[in-house]
Chain A
Amino acid sequence: MKKLLSMLMVLAMLTTMMVGCASKKDGSQTSSDNGTGVTQAADKNAGTTDDTADASDNASGDVTIWYYWETEGHQKALNQLVQEFNDSQGNIKVEAKYVPFADFKKQLSIGASANELPDIVIQDNPDTAAYAQMGIFADLTGKFDVSNYYPGPVNSCTLDGKLYGVPFGSNDLLLYYNKDMLDQAGCQVPTTWEELLETAKKCTTDKVSGFAHSSVQNEEGTFNFLTWVWSTGATAYELNSEGGIKALTMVKDLVDSGAMPKEAINWTQGDTMNQFISGNLAMMLNGTWQVPTMRQEVPDLNWGVAPIPMDKQQASGLGGENYSVIAGGNEAAAIEFLKFATQKEQCLFMMKTMGYISADSTIAKDQFAGDEVYEAFVEEMQYANARGPLAEWPEVSDAISLAFNEVMTGASAPEAAAAKAQTTIDAVINK
Chain B
Amino acid sequence: MKGIKKYFKYDNVGILFVLPALIYMLVFVGYPIIYNFVLSFQDVTVRTLRSNVKEFVGLDNYINLFKQDNILMTSLWNTLFFTVVCILFQFVVGFALAVFFNKNFKFAKPVRGLLLIPWMIPMTITGLMFKFMFSTDVGIINFFLRSLGIIHKNIDWLTNPTTAMFAVIFANFWIGIPFNMILIATGLTTIPKELYESAAIDGAGKFQTFRKITVPLLKPTMESVLILGFIYTFKVYDLVYVMTSGGPVNSTQLLSTYSYKLSFEMFKYSEGAAVANVLFVILFIVSSIYLKFIYTEGEE
Interface residues of A (CB under 8 A from B): 2-3, 6, 9-10, 12-13, 16-25, 105-106, 109, 112-113, 130, 133-136, 217-218, 261-263, 265-266, 391-392, 394-395, 398, 402, 405-406, 409, 411, 420, 424
CA distance A420 to B266 in the complex (A): 18
Given the known A-B contacts A2-B298, A13-B231, A105-B265, are A391 and B224 also in contact in the complex, defined by CB atoms under 8 Å?
no
Whether a CB of chain A sits under 8 angstroms from the CB of B8 is: no
In contact, A21 and B32 (Cβ under 8 angstroms): yes
The 3 closest A-B pairs by CB, nearest first: A106-B264, A20-B235, A6-B294
| Cβ–Cβ < 8 Å partners of A20 in chain B | 231, 235, 279-280, 283
Contact partners of B49 in chain A: CB under 8 A: 109, 112-113, 134
CA distance A10 to B297 in the complex (A): 14
Closest to A395 in B: B266
8 other A-B residue contacts (CB within 8 Å) besides A130-B267, A263-B137, A263-B159 = A9-B224, A12-B228, A20-B279, A105-B264, A113-B50, A265-B248, A391-B47, A409-B159
Assembled-state Cα–Cα distance A150/B245 (Å): 35
Flag if B266 contacts A22 (CB, 8 Å): no
Inter-subunit contact A22/B29 (CB<8 Å): yes
B250 close to A266 (CB less than 8 A):
no
Question: Contacts A9-B224, A109-B267, A263-B156: A130 and B46 contacting too (C-beta < 8 A)?
Answer: yes
A217 x B247 contact (CB < 8 A): yes
Is B78 interfacial (CB 8 A cutoff)? no
Q: Are B248 and A405 in contact (CB under 8 A)?
A: yes
Point out the residues of chain B lying under 8 angstroms from A133, CB to CB: 46-47
B158 at the binding interface (Cβ < 8 Å) = yes
> Which chain B residues lie closer than 8 Å to A135 at the CB level?
50-51
Q: How many angstroms from the CA of A96 to the CA of B232 in the assembled complex?
A: 39
- State the CA gap A411–B249 with chains docked (Å): 8
Considering the chains assembled together, what is the distance between the CA atoms of A10 and B245 in angstroms? 31
Q: Which residues of B contact A262 (CB under 8 A)?
A: 156, 159-160
Is A266 within 8 A of B159, CB to CB? yes
CA A113 – CA B54 in complex, angstroms?
A: 12
In the complex, what residues of B have CB within 8 A of residue A391's CB?
A: 46-47
In the complex, whether B269 has a CB less than 8 A from a CB of chain A is yes
Are B224 and A3 in contact (CB-based, < 8 A)?
A: no
B25 cross-chain contacts in A, Cβ below 8 A: 18
Chain B residues in contact with chain A, CB under 8 A?
Answer: 25, 28-29, 32-33, 36, 45-47, 49-51, 68-69, 135-137, 156, 158-161, 224, 228, 231-232, 235, 237, 245, 247-250, 261, 263-269, 276, 279-280, 283, 287, 290-291, 294, 297-298
Contact flag A112-B50 (CB < 8 Å), given A13-B228, A17-B231, A106-B264? yes
- Identify the closest chain B residue to A398 (Cβ): B266
Q: Are A9 and B294 in contact (CB under 8 A)?
A: yes
Q: Once the chains are docked, how many angstroms separate the CA of A22 from the CA of B27?
A: 11
In the complex formed, the residue of B with least CB distance to A7 is B294
Asked whether A402 lies within 8 Å of B249 as measured between CB atoms, the reply is yes
B283 touches A17 (CB 8 A): yes
Is B265 a contact of A217 with CB atoms below 8 Å?
no
Can you list 11 contacts pairing A with B, beta carbon distance less than 8 Å? A16-B231, A21-B29, A21-B36, A22-B29, A22-B32, A24-B263, A105-B265, A217-B249, A266-B135, A409-B249, A420-B69
Contact of B264 among A13, A109, A406 (CB under 8 A): A109
* Complex contacts, B68 vs chain A, CB 8 Å: 424
Asked if B47 and A265 sit within 8 Å, CB to CB, the answer is no
Residues of A within 8 A of B51 (CB): 135
Distance of A244 Cα from B279 Cα, bound (Å):
36
Q: How far is the CB of B237 from chain A (nearest CB, A)?
A: 7
Chain A residue, CB-CB nearest to B276: A24
Shortest Cβ distance from A277 into chain B, in angstroms? 15
A16-B231, A217-B245 known; A22 and B283 CB under 8 Å? no
**CA separation between A325 and B101, bound complex, in Å?**
63
- Tell me the nearest residue of chain B to A267, going by C-beta: B159
Assess the A10–B265 pair: CB atoms within 8 A.
no
Query: Which of B51, B250, B280, B294 has the most CB atoms of chain A within a 10 A radius of its CB?
Result: B294
Shortest distance from the beta carbon of A279 to any chain B beta carbon, whole Å: 13
* Cα distance, A96 to B283, chains bound together (Å): 42
Distance in angstroms between the alpha carbons of A222 and B6 in the assembled complex: 71
For B136, what are the chain A residues with a Cβ–Cβ distance below 8 Å? 261, 263
Q: Which chain B residues lie closer than 8 Å to A218 at the CB level?
A: 245, 265
> In the complex, A113 Cα to B44 Cα: how many Å?
11
